[in-house]
């Protein structure tokens, strides 16, 4: 008698649910998924205005003269690049950015190294270090303006009482000195955030490396040079790029501190954008200048990022 052997039919494949597909995402797709809402918001609120500014940069828009907006091609860019005021402000902007980076990155690194150590009042000190970051740029500019006031400023009073100066100094009456004070004020506001970034990188360094260095007889400087610094190189480059972006587009603090004075001594490129757009109502020229400033920021930031990529490839 023959027996029939039946094979079980394969169960129908169940379609994976949304959460199952979500859990199977790799790191790249998961990161892109998390970035998508922010990217959409940036495209709407930044992409559209930037595109409109690009269109205006090719038009002659002089609201004090006429409401017409004729197409002029690259004339606005040519006019901006040949202006003496723009060339002078470019030099001031680069000096301001370089000084801001030096005055902010080095103290931020020192503060991060101190706050990474164990001491009794570490938590309160961390809170105090972060306070300048919470101050609005306009308030910060007014604060520093009164600190360096020629008659009743804190800087003059303190230096006079200590006997360092014989007479009160008019700090904001000299262009280089006023620009340096603006750079220090910008750095003072940026230091807390930079410290936080560097501190997070420091806490990611394995403690075993420091213990091994101590066992080999390495001192404080040797441990910093051969253990800490190699692990911080990439994050320091990122911090420099971030500070380049902040310093090149600084406007509100300089506006409240010096108003571009004395004369034109503290007029930066960002300040010229404001002057052309809101005082002269030359929107086409202001748009061209703003886009050139954006290209300068991209160029300076790209140099630092390329340096970081080259270091990774060598490693």
Domain contains 37: no
CATH of the domain at 199: 1.10.3720.10
- Per-residue model confidence as pLDDT tens for the chain (315 residues): 455 555 555 555 555 555 556 566 667 677 778 888 888 898 888 888 888 989 999 988 888 888 888 898 898 899 888 888 888 998 999 999 999 999 999 999 999 998 888 888 888 888 888 888 888 888 888 899 989 988 888 888 898 888 888 888 888 888 889 999 999 999 999 999 999 999 999 988 888 888 888 888 888 888 888 888 888 888 888 898 889 888 988 888 889 998 888 888 889 999 999 999 888 888 999 999 999 998 888 888 787 778 767 766 665
Domain contains 30: no
Give the span between the Cα atoms of 20 and 17, in whole angstroms. Answer: 5
Domain contains 95: yes
**Structural domain for 195, as ranges:** 84-138+186-314
Domain contains 303: yes
Domain contains 116: yes
Domain contains 55: no
Alpha helix ranges (H) inside the chain:
18-23, 27-42, 48-56, 75-82, 84-115, 122-134, 137-147, 154-161, 175-202, 207-215, 220-223, 229-248, 252-257, 269-274, 283-314
Domain contains 148: no
Domain contains 2: no
Domain total of the chain = 1
């Amino acid at each position: 008698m023959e027996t029939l052997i039946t094979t079980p039919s394969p169960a129908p494949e169940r379609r994976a649910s949304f959460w199952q597909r979500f859990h199977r995402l790799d790191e790249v797709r998961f990161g892109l998924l998390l970035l998508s809402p922010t990217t959409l918001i940036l495209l709407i609120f930044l992409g559209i205005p930037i595109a409109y500014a690009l269109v205006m940069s090719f038009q002659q828009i002089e609201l004090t003269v006429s409401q017409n907006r004729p197409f002029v091609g690259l004339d606005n860019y040519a006019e901006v690049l040949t202006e003496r005021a723009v060339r002078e402000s470019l030099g001031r902007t680069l000096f301001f950015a370089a000084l801001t980076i030096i005055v902010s990155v080095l103290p931020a690194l020192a503060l991060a190294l101190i706050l990474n150590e164990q001491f009794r009042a570490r938590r309160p000190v961390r809170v105090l270090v972060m306070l300048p970051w919470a101050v609005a740029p306009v308030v910060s500019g007014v604060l520093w303006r009164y600190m360096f006031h020629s008659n009743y400023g804190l800087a003059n009073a303190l230096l006079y009482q200590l006997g360092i100066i014989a007479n009160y100094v008019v700090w904001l009456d000299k262009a280089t000195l006023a620009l340096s004070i603006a750079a220090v004020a910008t750095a003072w506001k940026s230091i807390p955030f930079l410290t936080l970034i560097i501190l997070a990188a420091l806490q990611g360094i394995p403690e075993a490396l420091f213990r091994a260095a101590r066992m080999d007889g390495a001192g404080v400087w040797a441990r910093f040079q051969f253990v800490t610094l190699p692990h911080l190189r990439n994050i320091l480059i990122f911090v420099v790029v971030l500070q380049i972006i902040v310093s090149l587009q600084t406007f509100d603090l300089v506006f409240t501190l010096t108003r571009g004075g004395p004369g034109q001594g503290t007029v930066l490129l960002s300040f010229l954008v404001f002057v052309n757009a809101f005082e002269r109502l030359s929107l086409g020229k202001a748009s061209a200048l703003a886009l050139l400033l954006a290209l300068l920021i991209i160029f300076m930031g790209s140099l630092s990022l390329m340096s970081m990529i080259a270091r990774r490839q060598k490693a």
